[in-house]
Amino acid sequence: MKELQEWMKEKFIDYLEAMWPRYCKTIRYLKRVNFL
């Protein structure tokens, strides 16, 4: 069961790293249009 947890954690980190730039871009855009 521990192997599964390690695998899930790695997949989750990969997902976060893939989504992070897009997330930052969205936040920057919202700040620019004074939405936040």
For the chain, give the mean pLDDT.
89
Per-residue pLDDT reduced to its tens digit, 2-21: 999 999 999 999 998 899 99
- Place 35 in a pLDDT band, splitting at 50, 70 and 90: low
- Place 34 in a pLDDT band, splitting at 50, 70 and 90: confident
DSSP 2-36: HHHHHHHHHHHHHHHHHHHHHHHHHHHHHHHTT--
For residues 12 and 20, the answer to whether their CB atoms sit within 8 Å is no
Residues in the chain: 36
Residues 6+ apart with CB under 8 A from 28: none
| Cut 0.75: pTM above it | no
Determine how many CB atoms are found less than 10 A away from the CB of residue 13: 10
